[in-house]
């Protein structure tokens, strides 16, 4: 198979972890006789520094032309404490999602058995949990009108959803539920928020097309509690952009660490694959970042964009083997991990490559 993959490392540890993800793709190409070619593009703070624009047209054009994008992270601490900054790295990410029509963000939450001890949640609560989140990615309060009034003393952000937007993400989630445990939990705040009432109405309607799927509706506050109390009760979860952002960071603890969680953003065109963790400037350049989320994102890319199931499973197995051999990065090590088994980004990447 011949494919053209765009590597978009972005900021912070994005550079370090996508380098490992790319090596894994290369190894897979070599092993299975595929021909992957690569190009790179700038986004985020790195793009602002180079061009003044967090998503230059050239990057967007390359994304549209490529068969899939392996993405790192965006963000820089210098903006976090400067609310007045007009140009921000995150704008690049949001524009990319909008322009590529990436309305469905899949975040699979599954714990590798070896990491039962890495989470702050009790092992007996976690064991067997397997959740697939569908976070809507191009609507909601993220993309509605925002601004200031009253001489800047009042701020507003409008949350907006159309029937069409809810319908298409709901359908994707139901389709996935049909291939899994046939259970779907739709999360909203329909007791208070109007967009949530439309959300619930539309999900109920789409549910009629999938009579085999058991549907429940939960409020977002209750869901935040249930995820920690009993994660095994969930199969597929579908929710709006902001709720999904928050709940999946929380749910990363079910997978042991943020450093393990991959995601796929899909729509009608090129798919984008990225870790759910951010740019992590506190550990940038130290060579200690966990590259497994990027490697597992590469696995999702192979499966979803290229339909290469065997290759994808191969990558996941290699990660599993490395964990079984006792190797850890700092974020997933615990007091029982011997010092010589705690590896940096490149070294654990090499262990993964060896097993491929
Ligand atoms: C994520 C991130 C982004 C988001 C930020 C960086 C804009 O937190 O992908 O989850 O809020 O969507
Ligand atoms: Mn987030």
- Per-residue pLDDT reduced to its tens digit, 304-325: 999 999 999 999 999 999 999 9
Average pLDDT for 4-22: 98
Sign, Cα dihedral of 273, 164, 239, 185? negative
Of 190, 225, 260, the one marking the end of a domain is 260
What is the percentage of the chain residues whose pLDDT exceeds 90? 93
pLDDT tier at 273, thresholds 50, 70, 90: very high
pLDDT tier at 46, thresholds 50, 70, 90: very high
Q: Which residues are catalytic?
A: 142, 189, 221, 245, 249
Render pLDDT for 338-347 as a digit per residue (tens, 0 to 9): 999 999 999 9
Which CATH number do you get for residue 288?
Answer: 3.40.718.10
Same domain, yes or no, for 341 and 245? no
Whether residue 163 has pLDDT greater than 90: yes
Residues 356 and 312: their CA atoms lie apart, in Å, by 11
pLDDT tier at 256, thresholds 50, 70, 90: confident
| Ligand 2 center to 247 CA (angstroms) | 9
Residue of minimum CA distance from atom 7 in ligand 1: 90
Of 203, 231, 260, the one marking the end of a domain is 260
Domain residues for the domain of 334 are 1-103+267-356
* Number of domains comprising the chain: 2
**Does some domain include residue 109?**
no
Average pLDDT for 290-298: 98
List, as residue ranges, the binding site for Mg(2+).
221, 245, 249
Mutate-to-test residue for ligand 1 from 8, 85, 90, highest number of ligand atoms within 8 A of CB: 90
| Ligand 1 center to 239 CA (angstroms) | 15
**Does some domain include residue 110?**
no
Mutate-to-test residue for ligand 1 from 44, 45, 54, 93, highest number of ligand atoms within 8 A of CB: 93
Contact 104, 172 (CB under 8 A): yes
Render pLDDT for 98-131 as a digit per residue (tens, 0 to 9): 999 999 999 999 999 999 888 889 999 999 999 9
Same domain, yes or no, for 132 and 83? no
Whether residue 14 has pLDDT greater than 90: yes
Same domain, yes or no, for 130 and 204? yes
Same domain, yes or no, for 228 and 294? no
* The pLDDT of residue 80: 85
* The pLDDT of residue 117: 81
| Ligand 1 center to 276 CA (angstroms) | 8
**Does some domain include residue 108?**
no
* The pLDDT of residue 81: 86
Pocket of ligand 1 (CB under 6 A): 74-75, 90, 93, 245, 276, 278
Render pLDDT for 169-193 as a digit per residue (tens, 0 to 9): 999 999 999 999 999 999 999 999 9
Same domain, yes or no, for 284 and 315? yes
Whether residue 268 has pLDDT greater than 90: no
| Ligand 1 center to 16 CA (angstroms) | 19
**Does some domain include residue 32?**
yes
Whether residue 220 has pLDDT greater than 90: yes
Computed over every residue of the chain, the mean pLDDT equals: 96
């Amino acid at each position: 198979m011949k494919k053209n993959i765009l590597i978009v490392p972005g900021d912070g540890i994005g550079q370090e972890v996508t380098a490992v993800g790319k090596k894994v793709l290369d190894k897979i190409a070599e092993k299975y006789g595929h021909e992957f070619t690569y190009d790179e593009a700038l986004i985020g703070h790195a793009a602002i520094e180079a061009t003044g624009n967090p998503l230059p047209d050239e990057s967007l054009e390359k994304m549209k032309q490529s068969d899939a994008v392996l993405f790192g992270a965006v963000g820089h601490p210098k903006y976090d404490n400067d609310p007045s900054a007009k140009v921000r790295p995150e704008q690049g990410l949001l524009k990319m999602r909008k322009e590529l029509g990436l309305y469905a963000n899949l975040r699979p939450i599954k714990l590798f058995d070896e990491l039962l001890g890495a989470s702050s949640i009790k092992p007996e609560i976690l064991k067997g949990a397997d959740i697939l989140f569908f976070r809507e990615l191009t609507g909601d309060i993220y993309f509605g009108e925002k601004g200031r009034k009253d001489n800047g003393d009042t701020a507003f952000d409008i949350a907006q959803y159309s029937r069409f937007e809810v319908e298409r993400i709901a359908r994707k989630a139901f389709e996935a539920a049909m291939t899994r445990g046939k259970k779907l939990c739709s999360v909203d705040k329909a007791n208070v928020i109007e967009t949530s009432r439309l959300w619930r109405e539309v999900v109920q309607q789409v549910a009629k097309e999938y009579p085999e799927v058991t549907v429940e509706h939960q409020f977002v506050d209750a869901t935040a509690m249930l995820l920690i109390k009993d994660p095994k009760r969930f199969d597929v979860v579908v929710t709006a952009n902001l709720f999904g952002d928050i709940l999946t960071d929380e749910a990363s603890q079910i997978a042991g660490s943020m450093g393990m969680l991959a995601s796929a953003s899909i729509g009608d065109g090129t798919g984008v694959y990225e870790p759910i963790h951010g740019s992590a400037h506190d550990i940038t350049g130290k060579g200690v970042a966990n590259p497994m989320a990027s490697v597992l994102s590469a696995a999702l890319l192979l499966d979803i964009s290229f339909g290469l199931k065997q290759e994808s499973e191969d990558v996941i197995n290699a990660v599993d083997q490395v964990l079984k051999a006792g190797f850890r990065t700092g974020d997933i090590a615990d007091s029982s991990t011997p010092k010589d088994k705690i590896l940096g980004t490149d070294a654990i990447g090499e262990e993964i490559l060896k097993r491929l």
